[in-house]
């Protein structure tokens, strides 16, 4: 449909107009558009004004375009010198019938608003109809032809028909809409995805159903391979929860009595550090509860020790005895019966005991 506007100065405020659409399929059925300014320059506003009739009455989306002409009928790109404006409204869904029967103009302008209906502008191309089939080719060259498929069949039904018809490919492919066409009357397109198939099948094709071939305007069949078969190993995406980042100082969550705690400088990290030193021997005097430790590369200050434990009892270090080769400590409690070895924990973790140490 075409709307021709003329006879006003488009740079002023030349008034408004409305279009009253008569439905050719329903007698005495009319739809009034929204009001449109004669000098409306936004094509989306014009499209919105007439949108309801075409979408809700005729079930088709539309495109609109605006062209301006000067006094010499030369196309220009603004309203400054325009003497005529032409608005074209195009239905995007192909049809065999007219979408507009009559158009009446309601206006508050001295300008002229002339309407050219589709039969005077451009009728729709014939919409798609009929049936088709899908030819499948397995990797060994075996050909299979599917049952007939109506042009407007849903993708799930198409997938079902092809699945049960393709020899040696059942449950190894899926077909879904490629969405190249907004309406089934305009055309159909599909993606074919192979699942769990370690072979290179042949090119699938859409072919005519000989009993009810597809009809339309210049029907073209296009069959192509988007992603060729590859001999590379393909892995499905790795779930996020299985991904890990290598950290030299991982962060930890710290809480006290169930309450979140903040670390110094907001840096709650820790390091994996090789153990320093070794406990080579020890003696325990039961009468005095004195534990004497002998080792190598031990901390030389009390602050270098976090805890010393022997026979399930904490042991208090005598700072005056600390050297790099040993120290003494006194058990805070009576030792637990059994064979035990001391556990000496420094600021960098547990100091290992030599393999030759014998429990007491």
Distance CA 262, CA 347 (A): 20
pLDDT of residue 235: 65
Instruction: Determine the structural domain holding residue 310 and report its residue range.
Output: 278-351
Q: Has residue 110 been placed in a domain?
A: yes
The pLDDT-based confidence of 193 (bands split at 50, 70, 90) is confident
- Asked whether residue 165 falls in the same domain as residue 65, the answer is no
User: In the predicted model, is pLDDT for residue 233 greater than 90?
Assistant: no
Mean per-residue pLDDT for 83-88? 92
- Asked whether residue 103 falls in the same domain as residue 11, the answer is yes
pLDDT of residue 98: 86
Decide which of 83, 103, 121 is a domain's last residue. Answer: 121
pLDDT of residue 132: 93
Total residue length of the chain: 360
Q: Has residue 306 been placed in a domain?
A: yes
Q: Has residue 116 been placed in a domain?
A: yes
Q: Count the domains in the chain.
A: 3
Decide which of 160, 188, 208 is a domain's last residue. Answer: 208
pLDDT of residue 338: 86
User: In the predicted model, is pLDDT for residue 234 greater than 70?
Assistant: no
Mean per-residue pLDDT for 315-327? 95
DSSP state of 50: H
Distance CA 194, CA 175 (A): 9
- Asked whether residue 91 falls in the same domain as residue 26, the answer is yes
- Asked whether residue 117 falls in the same domain as residue 198, the answer is no
- Asked whether residue 24 falls in the same domain as residue 115, the answer is yes
Q: Where is pLDDT greater, at 74 or 79? A: 74
- Asked whether residue 113 falls in the same domain as residue 19, the answer is yes
- Asked whether residue 9 falls in the same domain as residue 114, the answer is yes
Cβ-contact 20, 106 below 8 angstroms = yes
Assign residue 287 the CATH number of its domain: 2.60.40.10
- Asked whether residue 14 falls in the same domain as residue 117, the answer is yes
Cβ-contact 145, 161 below 8 angstroms = no
Q: Has residue 186 been placed in a domain?
A: yes
pLDDT of residue 212: 93
| CB burial of residue 195 (10 Å; 0-12, 13-18, 19+) | exposed
- Asked whether residue 164 falls in the same domain as residue 202, the answer is yes
% the chain with pLDDT above 70: 98
- Asked whether residue 83 falls in the same domain as residue 30, the answer is yes
pTM exceeds 0.75:
no
- Asked whether residue 23 falls in the same domain as residue 116, the answer is yes
Q: Has residue 243 been placed in a domain?
A: no
Return the HEC string of 77-99.
CCCCCCCEEEEEEEECCCCCCCC
Decide which of 86, 121, 156 is a domain's last residue. Answer: 121
Cβ-contact 295, 276 below 8 angstroms = no
**φ/ψ of residue 132, rounded to 5:** -145, 170
Q: Residue 236 is encoded by which pair of tokens?
A: 């499905």
Q: 65: which strand partners?
A: 88
């Amino acid at each position: 449909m075409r709307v021709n506007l003329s006879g006003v100065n488009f740079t002023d405020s030349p008034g408004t107009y409305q279009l009253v659409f008569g439905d050719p399929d329903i007698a005495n059925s009319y739809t009034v558009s929204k009001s449109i300014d004669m000098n409306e320059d936004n094509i989306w506003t014009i499209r919105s004004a007439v949108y309801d009739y075409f979408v809700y009455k005729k079930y088709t989306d539309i495109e609109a375009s605006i062209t301006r002409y000067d006094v010499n009928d030369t196309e220009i790109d603004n309203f400054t010198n325009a003497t005529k404006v032409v608005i074209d409204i195009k239905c995007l869904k192909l049809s065999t019938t007219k979408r507009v029967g009559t158009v009446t103009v309601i206006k508050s302008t001295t300008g002229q608003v002339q309407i050219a209906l589709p039969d005077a502008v451009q009728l729709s191309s014939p919409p798609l109809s009929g049936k088709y089939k899908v030819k499948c080719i397995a990797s060994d060259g075996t050909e299979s032809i599917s049952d007939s498929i109506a042009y407007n069949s849903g993708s799930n039904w198409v997938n079902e028909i092809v699945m049960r018809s393709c020899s040696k490919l059942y449950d190894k492919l899926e077909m879904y809409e490629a969405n190249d066409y907004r309406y089934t009357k305009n055309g159909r397109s599909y993606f074919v995805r192979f699942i769990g198939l370690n072979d290179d099948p042949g090119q699938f094709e859409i072919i005519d159903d000989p009993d009810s071939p597809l009809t339309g305007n210049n029907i073209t069949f296009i069959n192509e391979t988007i992603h060729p078969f590859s001999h590379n190993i393909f892995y499905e995406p790795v779930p996020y929860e299985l991904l890990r980042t290598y950290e030299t100082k991982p962060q930890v969550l710290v809480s006290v009595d169930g309450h979140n705690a903040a670390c110094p400088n907001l840096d709650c990290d820790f390091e994996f550090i090789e153990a320093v030193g070794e406990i080579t021997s020890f003696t325990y005097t039961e009468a005095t509860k004195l534990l004497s430790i002998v080792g190598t590369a031990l901390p030389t200050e009390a602050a270098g020790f976090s805890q010393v434990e022997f026979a399930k009892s904490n042991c208090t270090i005598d700072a005056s005895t600390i050297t790099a080769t040993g120290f003494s400590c006194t058990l805070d409690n009576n030792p637990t019966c059994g064979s035990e070895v001391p556990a000496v924990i420094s600021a960098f973790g547990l100091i290992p005991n030599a393999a030759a140490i014998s429990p007491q």
